[in-house]
Structure 1
Amino acid sequence: MRLMTKVHRVRPSRRAVGSVKALLLIAALLLTFGAGADCLSCHEDHALHPADPHYGLAESCASCHGGDPTATSLPRAHSRLIGAPGELSNASRACAGCHTQEVIHVLSGLMHTGRGMVNVTRFTFGETPHPEGLGDLSFGARLGDSPADSLLRKRCASCHLGQPRHQIGTDDPIGSRGGGCLACHLSTEHGGGHPVLTRRVRDESCIGCHSRSGRIALSYAGLAEVDDDALHRPDTSRLGYLPDGRLVERIAADLHHTAGLACIDCHTKRDVMGPTSGFAHGSDAVDIQCQDCHANEQSRITVQDWPQDLEGLLDAIPYRVTDRTEFLVTERRGTPLWHIEVGPNEKLLHRKILGERVRIPPMSATHHPDDGHHDRLACSACHSGWAPQCYGCHMEYDPNQEQWDHARREFTPGAWIDERWGIRNEQPPLGIDGHGRIVPFIPGMIRSIDHSELAGPRFRRLFAPIAPHTTVRGLDCAACHRSSVALGLGRGQLRRGTAGWEFEPARPLLEDGMPDDAFVTLDGKAGETTRRHARGFEPEELLRILDAAIPE
């Protein structure tokens, strides 16, 4: 039986002040915009559902939608009407009245600006010297017409939040894009009538954008893209097509997914909607870390210390709370993990979507020795079962075709066509990220880009750090210390010869002298990375890893 006792009001003065403010705000809105009954006389089927958190404004439609509810003619009633308040082009006039900081953060945040995606794309095309900068997709205002920006316009910009929402009401979350606040907070649980907003954001709201690029939404659920060669296997029972036509295979899902955890069980409001304007890439903005749940040594807080920007979450705590109840906080931003119940002998995570409690296994000292040799290892280095990888890619621009321009929102001349091959879904190579941690990497691009403004096809060998979201219980020592793939050498024969370690690649060499699936080589060649200061292992590091004694 799920325990859903409401939070005891242990801070009556502060909570009471908040309640009074809320009542005063509603009263002000009602006085300003009128009762809204005239709106409902024509739009009765759009009355708010009781499950909507805005139900207290059920008779004040104009507080979000504008217009003039006191007007007696249609033109006046619809004057300055806001059809979709949650879209970012309207959010400053609508949502910001109550959610000021959230709107500010989202407008400057990575999900809207796409800053990391823009800068990495320009770097890949050789248009900038490093993968950081002032790139911005916001409403398409800052994209030019260079080859890189052309690709962003035609192939990439559909996912940022400034795009109008489309595919509302379909059963295809893969195709969902844009919509600003609605991209996450539009509920699919209640059909018909006024759309219902919710803070219980389901995974379906994430998958439309996060099933692309690093494909972490697919990987988390145990779905791996494969090429058409898979159709010729003797057993095709695990194959299927996504609604957008991509062929996928069902393989091992992340342990957290198997345990029923949704995306929002780990990702906090602060890493999704917090101030992220100072971060270059999405991974930098992530608040939650594995140790926050499994080995948290941070000082705990009580409701007396609760951050003011998260006070609205107090009523969501799904278990009994007193003024002595302690909460875990994240190491990076001190965010309270309000859905984790800390007991004397165990920690229980209350699933935000599915309900019920899940015991959090503590980190074992036996399997995570403090020996000084593995201090730089990120948890994902040993606990990622696989990652989606593509070891061949050719992108070509055809000026004689037309393609949808997501910035201008119209068809314009020129189209990008891509071809890819060498798809693998296996243990990824490791490398060192920009913070000095050993993490998984995947190919960002290997092969060539062809555009009429480039002096011939441009070859690039780029790898990107990734959190694969394919958690397993743990790999054995040999899976890294004796694996040519994990070390970044690629597939082949790794052996200790009379002169030391030798590697015979199984794949052909490309024009840079490296095997087509290699991140690094034993003689010091290395691919580039899509993050500043990130790199593959250097020869002396490779030898040190290979020479380490490991249990048989």
Structure 2
Amino acid sequence: MGTIQKSYILILFLLLTAAGCSQKTGDGSTCAACHQGLELVSETHLECVSCHGGDPDEPEEKASHKDMYGPKNPADPKYWDKTCGKCHPYQLDRVRSNLMFTATGMIKNTQATWEGEDGKLYASRPSKLNDAAGNSLELNDVALLDNLAGEVFRKGCSGCHVAFQNRWVWRGSHASGCAACHFPYNENGTYQGEDQTVKGKWPHSASHKMERLPPNQVCVRCHNRSGRIALSYEGRNDGNNSLVPTRNGGPGPDIIGGPRNVTRIPPDIHHEMGMECIDCHTSRDLMGDGYAYENMYLQTEITCEDCHGSPAERPRVEQISRENDEVLRESAHYKKQMQQGDSMVLTSKGRKYSNVFLEDEKIWVQSKRTGKLHESKVITETPEHSIIGHERMECYSCHSRTVTQCYGCHTEYDQRELAMDYIKGVKTTGKFTETEDYRMIYPFPLALNQRGKVSPVTPGCQTFVSVINPQGEKVLDEYVTLFKGKQQLRFAPFFGHNTGAKVIGCRECHANPAFLGFGQHVVEGDNIEATLICEKSAEKPLDGFITMNSGDVKGFSAITRENSRPFETAEIKKIMAVNLCLVCHDDPKDPIYQKELDYNVLDNCIKRSVSTVQ
């Protein structure tokens, strides 16, 4: 190839990339002729029609836009096979099974707590997938779930999930499909780039440039409701509804979607260090790994122990030995690209992190977007993390600064009114409205989670349902829905994403019954009486799930998720008995806590009269 020919090809390439879209030279009938200033998606996405479809040879707008995919969002799932999936089949197969797309876990748990269980699994879009064991799994269309559980998901929960666009909530809107994360919306869902043909129009992503590594704002779009983990992580507390005055008669310092306002609390220690959501969460956490899961905790592959180690074992590592290792592909756009021979830390599922590695005998976490390196402190064999009796503790039971708790969800379903069904895409009969009793973030109750470990739990969900039929009759009035065959309130294991370096004090956790599930209370001898009473029972606290009468502990609310449960009587007594030790031994590094406690000796201490205690 001659020098002149090479130069011509180079000039043509520069013209194509400078235009932002494909530029067909000669007749002027190009996408870029109208969309001047439109940002280039990336250096590997050069042709408009390969993503958007349409006809670039047509000079007339309507004719050129005919048969486009979208046209605003070619990443919508209904176009995947012709657009994103055409070049990215590996990623597409993963996303199709991803809980953020299927919402199977949310629908399943909504069914369980809204009396909708029927032995089937549902998804935002019907599909046939495989579970992690390789078994075929059929996910039914949630549009066919014809009961309150289906209604509340379609008209509420589904608005946050990436199978469908959410374009109605200020600061909470997002596109559907791949664009939900990779083409973020601004606060109003309007385009803010340099293409004057769509400048300020809605609904559009803020820019036409793709975000390979989505920032935290993408996560906040959805994770500012329910558990509110994106808010807690950044040190924001959605502690009141709407615009309730919080400061000098005005709203809180930050207005978020709804509109709601948030106040400031201490942020997560990882956020303080400059880490973003994607620095901990792997692409398999967020985009799926190709398998269909029935609950979020099954898909999530990261744990605190991965980077910090456990009391008995340091973080596990494995070298990059193959030239096509996925770590090499994923880290290609990081400031520090991983290389063959690097020792990568493994997740709880035994897969390599792409940004966490061992170097100079230290564990390092690289922030994916900034390249900043953070040393991860390893806690293995440290005395405060090796206390006998704490083997079942999740790290975040002690290290959570706060846990979001929303008590008393009073939901009214009025069949006289219409509301948008986000799955069906039309307004249908039946509108939900919600009120609540109160929220709090501290203290928070503990129970055993699905791993058999002690973890925080939060209301999940305390639903009191009222139903008004088309004739205006209230056919259900503050009805407590069934769970496992009986009317009971529910709590669920939960990681609040508000981690602190400083832990909850030993005395506080062992001496405050609120941490054990009793709620706000008064201790009277060997009775613990609730003070915040559920309106449906004079004996049951709204903010707890166990009571103690004459020394016997009784559970009355369910801890949802498999194998989860409250503490039993013997466990409660052992936890409280440790207070005898804490009077003198209040340092968790005290060698006494490296020994097995003899509860018989503690019993003898309790039984001795005050005059004999030395």
So what's the TM-score if we normalise by structure 2? 0.75
Range with bigger deviation, 270-279 or 182-191? 182-191
d(CA) in 2 for partners of 1:311, 1:232: 49
What amino acid maps onto 1:138 in structure 2? Answer: R
Residue 67 (structure 2) pairs with residue 80 (structure 1): yes
What is residue 593 of structure 2 aligned with on the other side?
Answer: none
Shift of 1:199: 1.5
User: What runs of 5+ residues in structure 2 fail to find an aligned partner?
Assistant: 1-12, 14-21, 127-139, 187-191, 196-206, 470-474, 481-487, 587-614
Residue 511 (structure 2) pairs with residue 490 (structure 1): no
d(CA) in 1 for partners of 2:419, 2:288: 34
Residue 521 (structure 2) pairs with residue 508 (structure 1): no
Q: Secondary structure at the match of 2:218?
A: helix
Residue 570 (structure 2) pairs with residue 540 (structure 1): yes
Bigger Rg, structure 1 or 2? 2
What is residue 44 of structure 2 aligned with on the other side?
Answer: 56
The within-5 A match list for 1:268-279 is: 268-275=282-289, 277-279=291-293
Q: Secondary structure at the match of 1:226?
A: coil
What is residue 92 of structure 1 aligned with on the other side?
Answer: 81
Q: Secondary structure at the match of 2:44?
A: helix
What amino acid maps onto 1:542 in structure 2? Answer: I
Shift of 1:366: 3.2
The within-5 A match list for 1:111-126 is: 111-126=100-115
What amino acid maps onto 2:93 in structure 1? Answer: I
Q: Secondary structure at the match of 2:436?
A: strand
Q: 1:407 aligns with which of 423, 432, 435?
A: 423
Distance 1:300 1:517, change over 3 A: closer
After superposition, give the CA deviation of every residue in 1:366-421 in whole Å (9 maximum; x if it has no partner): 35443441111111111111111122221111122222221222222221111102
Shift of 1:281: 1.5
What amino acid maps onto 1:469 in structure 2? Answer: H
d(CA) in 2 for partners of 1:142, 1:73: 41
Distance 1:150 1:101, change over 3 A: same
Residue 238 (structure 2) pairs with residue 208 (structure 1): no
After superposition, give the CA deviation of every residue in 1:133-154 in whole Å (9 maximum; x if it has no partner): 5021228943233122111222
Shift of 1:541: 1.6
What is residue 499 of structure 2 aligned with on the other side?
Answer: 471
What is residue 5 of structure 1 aligned with on the other side?
Answer: none
Residue 443 (structure 2) pairs with residue 442 (structure 1): no
d(CA) in 2 for partners of 1:63, 1:195: 15
The within-5 A match list for 1:5-154 is: 38-45=29-36, 47-49=38-40, 52-53=41-42, 55-58=43-46, 60-70=47-57, 77-82=64-69, 83=71, 84-128=73-117, 133-138=120-125, 141-143=141-143, 144-154=145-155
Q: Secondary structure at the match of 1:158?
A: helix
What is residue 597 of structure 2 aligned with on the other side?
Answer: none
Shift of 1:103: 1.3
What is residue 181 of structure 1 aligned with on the other side?
Answer: 178
Range with bigger deviation, 351-360 or 474-483? 351-360
Contact (CA 8 Å) 2:55, 2:63: kept in 1 or not? yes
Contact (CA 8 Å) 2:321, 2:341: kept in 1 or not? no
After superposition, give the CA deviation of every residue in 1:223-265 in whole Å (9 maximum; x if it has no partner): 1122369737889896543242213221111111111111100
Q: Secondary structure at the match of 2:263?
A: strand
What is residue 261 of structure 2 aligned with on the other side?
Answer: 247
Shift of 1:300: 2.5
What amino acid maps onto 2:97 in structure 1? Answer: S
Aligned residues: 506
Q: 2:321 aligns with which of 294, 301, 304?
A: 304
What is residue 328 of structure 1 aligned with on the other side?
Answer: 345
d(CA) in 2 for partners of 1:317, 1:384: 30
d(CA) in 2 for partners of 1:128, 1:320: 47
What amino acid maps onto 1:39 in structure 2? Answer: T
What amino acid maps onto 1:465 in structure 2? Answer: P
What is residue 8 of structure 1 aligned with on the other side?
Answer: none
Q: Secondary structure at the match of 1:104?
A: helix
Shift of 1:334: 0.9
The within-5 A match list for 1:188-227 is: 191-193=193-195, 195-227=208-240
d(CA) in 1 for partners of 2:423, 2:320: 45
Shift of 1:490: 0.6
What amino acid maps onto 2:343 in structure 1? Answer: E
Q: Secondary structure at the match of 1:451?
A: strand
Residue 426 (structure 2) pairs with residue 397 (structure 1): no
d(CA) in 2 for partners of 1:531, 1:427: 22
Range with bigger deviation, 179-188 or 227-236? 227-236
Contact (CA 8 Å) 1:89, 1:162: kept in 2 or not? no
Q: Secondary structure at the match of 2:547?
A: coil
After superposition, give the CA deviation of every residue in 1:318-347 in whole Å (9 maximum; x if it has no partner): 3375543222121224133x3235321433
Range with bigger deviation, 84-93 or 502-511? 502-511
d(CA) in 1 for partners of 2:357, 2:564: 37
Shift of 1:488: 0.5
Residue 368 (structure 2) pairs with residue 380 (structure 1): no
Contact (CA 8 Å) 1:158, 1:177: kept in 2 or not? no
Shift of 1:431: 0.8
What is residue 527 of structure 1 aligned with on the other side?
Answer: 557
d(CA) in 2 for partners of 1:36, 1:435: 59
Contact (CA 8 Å) 1:391, 1:423: kept in 2 or not? yes
Distance 1:232 1:76, change over 3 A: closer
